[in-house]
Amino acid sequence: MAEKISITVDGPAGSGKSTISKLIAEKLNILHLDTGAMYRAVALSALDRGISVSDVLAVESMLKGLSIAVTYDNGIQRIFVNGVDVMGRIRTAEVSKAASDIAVIPAVRVKLVEIQRQLSKSLSLIIDGRDIGSYVLPNADYKFYITADPEERAKRRLKEQQSKGLEIEKTLAEMTQEIISRDKTDSTREFAPLVCADNALYIDTTKMTIEQVVSTVLNAIQKVKK
Ligand code: DC
């Protein structure tokens, strides 16, 4: 694609947003920005410093000393916190929960949204998150909301862990509960909650394959372009 474009993909935990966004980025030869990774990086910084993610004042004071940089290395997103690449440490269950909790703090969102908006000014991006189409880039060219039933999302998470050779520490019921609880935190927070933007295409992927979702998204983009 020659002209600069922005595509937003919002949805709850485990809906496959990142997988789908990566594939679409490859197809369209644009970059993928995973904003969840940015909230995870801030959460990790708090955990590393022994700061409680619910202590708003302590988190605000930590933020003042954090320099966060998002860069691309051969098309792959990296996040540096105070010069250190944190990508290898942000995918644990502890960081997932802490990211959801720390994301309710407005100062955290303001800092990260600023970086997201700056990046989208100069790059063609497909951005995935919770509030991208509704709050970060309300004027994006194409908007999608991708979801699936909580149990299906929990199954996908467990399968993903298995395929990575990670130890499975949770039952399906426990993972489903964890996902429902994260949905609640993400969609009931006051500032920029998880929501389907007015003009986003809503895709329920419960009974769809990854390929079907990718082609639904690509077809929708083609249709709007005409
Ligand atoms: O997409 P993810 O699971 O990696 O995101 C981790 C947490 O970060 C998620 O539970 C809520 C928060 N988040 C957010 O509040 N806004 C975004 N745009 C992306 C993620």
Q: How sure is the predictor about 45, in pLDDT bands with cuts at 50, 70 and 90? A: very high
Task: Find out whether 33 and 125 touch, Cβ atoms under 8 Å.
Answer: yes
Residue 44 near ligand 1, beta carbon < 6 Å: no
Q: Supply 102's token pair.
A: 């720390």
* Cα–Cα distance for residue pair 204/207, rounded to 1 Å: 8
Q: What is the mean pLDDT of the chain?
A: 94
Residue 131 near ligand 1, beta carbon < 6 Å: yes
For the residues 168-195, what does the mean pLDDT come to? 92
Looking at residue 2, its pLDDT comes to 58
Overall fold of domain 6-216: Rossmann fold (3.40.50)
Sheet (strand 76-81) strand order: 68-73, 76-81, 84-85
Looking at residue 225, its pLDDT comes to 65
Q: Ligand 1 centre from 39 Cα, in Å?
A: 6
Determine which residue's CA is closest to atom 1 belonging to ligand 1: 36
Query: Exposed (0-12), middle (13-18) or buried (19+): which is 10, by Cβ within 10 Å?
Result: buried
Q: Where are the domains of the chain?
A: 6-216
Residue 178 near ligand 1, beta carbon < 6 Å: no
For the residues 167-181, what does the mean pLDDT come to? 92
Q: How sure is the predictor about 166, in pLDDT bands with cuts at 50, 70 and 90? A: confident
